[in-house]
Structure 1
C-alpha cells in the first residue's frame, strides 16, 4: 500500500475518533435499527424521515488541525492548461531603495524592520555638513535678495521723482537681479539635495535647530524590508540603507518548457501554489513573456502579477504555476484532491456552509483531468468557493459521523 495512502488512512482513523457526533452534527441517509422498527409500525421510513444535507461542523480548533484551504474555483478547461515551475519575487515597481543625496551621519533611526510606513514618513534623522553649508548660503542669498529688492524699489521711486539719476537706478536694478539669481541658485542646490519648495521656504536661521539636520523620508508606502543603519554611522550619497517594499502585489517568474512556449502571451490567468503553503492558491495574470528562450535550459521566461493583500506570500518562495491558455471557460477547475468519492461512485466536493465551521458535501459531475486539476461540469460554478485542501479529512469526518449515526441508538 503506498505510503501516502497509509498516512491518509491514519488521519481518517484519527478523525473518526476525534470528531464525534457531539462536534459534528449531521444528518445521514442510513437508517438506524430503531428507525427500522418504527418503519414497520408507521409505514414507509423514507416518506416520513427525509435526510438533511450532509454537513460537517468543525470547531475552530479542529479546523486549525485540519489546515483546510478555501479558494474560489477558476474558470477554464483542464486540457488547455500549462504548468511551470515558478518563483516569487518583489514587484520592482513597488520597491524603494532609500538613502541620502549627500554625505551625512545618522543621528537617530525612526523606522525598524517590519514597520509599515506611508509615503513621506521619516525613516531616520541625519546630519550633513554639506547641507548645513548649503542652507547657510541660501539664507545669506535670501537676505541679500531682500535688501537689493528693497533698495531697487526705493530708488525706482526716487528716479520717478527725478531725485536720482538713471545711472543710479540702473545700478540698483542690476544688483537686484544679481541677488535674485544668487538666491535661486542656492535654492536649486537645496532641491538637488531633496528639499521641497515648502521646506526651503521654511528654513529659519533664527532657531536653535541645526541647519545640518534633515529627515530621510520614504517615497513609497510599504513595509521596511531592509535597514542597514545605526546611530552614528556615516553614509555617502551612493548608500541606500533602507528598502521599503509594497508587498500587496508580487511578481511570479515562470519557466515554461519549449514545447508550450508558443501558447504563452500576456493577459492569461495564472494560479500559483507554493511549497511553503500547500493547498493555498494565489490568482494572477501574466503581464510579460520573453521574446527568446534560455539558451541552456531551453525554457521561456514569463512573468505574472499575483495578489498578495493577505501577506502570505514571500519573495523567494518556489512553487508551481498553472496557466489557463485558451478554450471556452465554462467549467470550474479544482485540484484533483478536492474531489472525493462517497459510497461506490458518487463524487463530491466540500463547500463552506451557512454557519462558521460548517462544510457541506455537494455531489458533482466531473470532466477532463490534467496537470493536477479536474473540471467540475455540474455542481460548482466558476468563482464559487470550494475546499481545495483538506477535503480527504472532511470526507473521513463525514463518513465516520454517518457510521456513528447508523449505530448510535
Structure 2
C-alpha cells in the first residue's frame, strides 16, 4: 500500500512538472512576440524624434518661409542694399496739354487706371483755339479739293490752261497738309469733342501714385497733374562697390529679400560703368522675374556673380540656423513637414552663414520663423518624456 501511494505521488509531481513546462512554453510563445514589436515602435519613435508633421496650410498660417539652397560660399555672393524703382516704361508723368481751369477730376490717389483713360478735364481757351484751327483747316482743305476737281474738269475739256490746273493741285495739297497739322495738334492736346477743353489721360495702365490737382484750380501748360505707375513694370537698383562691380555681368542671378521675409527672383540687366560721385558705388539694375513690388520700397539683394571665388559650401540665412540639443541644425522641408538636420557651420557675414557639411544643394530649408519649428520640436520632446 505504501509503495502504491508513493507511485501516485510521483505521478502527480511529474504532471505538475510537465504542466509547468507547458505553461512556460505557452508564456514564451505568447509574450515574446510583443517584446520585439514594442522595441520596434520605440526605435521608430526615436528615429522620428527629429521630425515634425505639418500640413501645407499650417506652414503657411505660421508664416514659415522656405528657400532652396545652392552651392557656393560667401565669396560667391554679393549682399547689397537696393531700392525698387519704376522701369522707364513703368511710370508716367501726366501733364496738362494746355493752360486752363480744372473742371472735372475723375481719379484720385491710389485709384487704378487703364491706358488712355481720362483722369481730369481742363477747360482752356488754348484748346478752343486749337479746335477752331482744326475746323478751319478742314474747311479749307475741302474747298481746295472742290476747286481742284473743277479745274481738272475744265482742263480735260480744253477750257482752262494746264497752269491753272497745276496751281489748283498745289493749293489742294497745301490745304490738306494744313488740315493734317491742325488735326495732329488737336490730337496732341487731346481736345474734347466740344472743343472747349483738353482731356488729361494716362498713357499707361497702373495706379495713381501722385496727384497735384484740385477742382477749379488754374494750371499752366505742361504742369504735372498726376503720376501713374505700373507695379508690374519695376526694376531694382542695387549699390555695389568697385571690387564687386567687375564681377557682375548681365544675366547673373539675383534674389531680392523683401521686408516681410519673402524672396523674389531676379536677373542682372546691366551695371553702370562708372561710380556715383556721392556714394562712390556702381548701380546694378535688376529685372524682377516674379512678384509685384511697390516703387520706393527698400530691399536687400543677394547677387550671384558669374566670376566668384569657387566654393562647395552652402550659404543660408542666420535665421535658418537653430540650436537643437546644443548642436547647430536647420530644418529641411519634407513631404510630411520638416526634419531637423545637424550641420557644421563656417564663417558668417552680413546675416549669412556658411554650411560646410550636412546639407546638399537643391534641398528646401526653413528660413523665416524657423524658431517656431525648434519650439514645436522641443514641445514634442517634452510631451514624450
Q: TM-score range by the shorter chain?
A: 0.7 to 0.9
Cross-structure match for 1:42: 35
1:121 aligns with 2:100: no
Cross-structure match for 1:231: 215
TM-superposed deviation, 1:177: 3.5
Superimposed CA distance per residue, residues 123-143 of structure 1 (whole angstroms, 9 cap, x where no aligned partner): 222322212222222222212
Q: TM-score, normalised by structure 2?
A: 0.74
Q: TM-score, normalised by structure 1?
A: 0.70
Superimposed CA distance per residue, residues 228-284 of structure 1 (whole angstroms, 9 cap, x where no aligned partner): 11222222222121111122354444343456555344443333335x43x333333
**1:45, 1:269 → 2: CA distance?**
52
Superimposed CA distance per residue, residues 326-353 of structure 1 (whole angstroms, 9 cap, x where no aligned partner): 2558765421321334335473324275
Q: Contact 2:321/2:328 (CA < 8 Å) preserved in 1?
A: no
Superimposed CA distance per residue, residues 84-118 of structure 1 (whole angstroms, 9 cap, x where no aligned partner): 33344333442211112322332222222222323
Q: How does 1:322-337 map to 2 (within 5 A)?
A: 322-325=302-305, 326-327=308-309, 333-337=315-319
**1:184, 1:313 → 2: CA distance?**
42
Cross-structure match for 1:90: 86
Cα gap change, 1:262/1:303 in structure 2, threshold over 3 Å: closer, same or farther? closer
Aligned length: 347
1:157 aligns with 2:138: no
Cα gap change, 1:105/1:340 in structure 2, threshold over 3 Å: closer, same or farther? same
RCO (CA 8 Å, sep 6+): is it higher in 1 or 2? 1
1:389 aligns with 2:368: yes
Q: Contact 1:290/1:300 (CA < 8 Å) preserved in 2?
A: no
SS of residue in 1 equivalent to 2:200: strand
TM-superposed deviation, 1:167: 5.8
SS of residue in 2 equivalent to 1:229: coil
**2:311, 2:345 → 1: CA distance?**
13
Moved over 6 A (4+): 58-62
1:182 aligns with 2:178: yes
SS of residue in 2 equivalent to 1:287: strand
Cα gap change, 1:330/1:210 in structure 2, threshold over 3 Å: closer, same or farther? farther
Superimposed CA distance per residue, residues 128-182 of structure 1 (whole angstroms, 9 cap, x where no aligned partner): 2212222222222212222321232133223322345556545544543343233
**1:170, 1:285 → 2: CA distance?**
62
TM-superposed deviation, 1:315: 0.8
Q: Contact 1:351/1:362 (CA < 8 Å) preserved in 2?
A: no
Cα gap change, 1:248/1:42 in structure 2, threshold over 3 Å: closer, same or farther? same
**1:401, 1:331 → 2: CA distance?**
32
Cross-structure match for 1:29: none
1:134 aligns with 2:134: no
SS of residue in 1 equivalent to 2:203: coil
Cross-structure match for 1:20: none
1:363 aligns with 2:345: no
Cα gap change, 1:289/1:182 in structure 2, threshold over 3 Å: closer, same or farther? closer
1:248 aligns with 2:228: no
Cα gap change, 1:224/1:75 in structure 2, threshold over 3 Å: closer, same or farther? farther
Superimposed CA distance per residue, residues 370-395 of structure 1 (whole angstroms, 9 cap, x where no aligned partner): 4233455655534x543211111111
Cα gap change, 1:159/1:323 in structure 2, threshold over 3 Å: closer, same or farther? closer
Cross-structure match for 1:109: 105
Cα RMSD (Å)? 3.6
Long gaps (5+) in structure 1: 1-37, 196-202, 204-208
Long gaps (5+) in structure 2: 1-30
Cross-structure match for 1:268: 252
1:144 paired residue among 136, 140, 163: 140
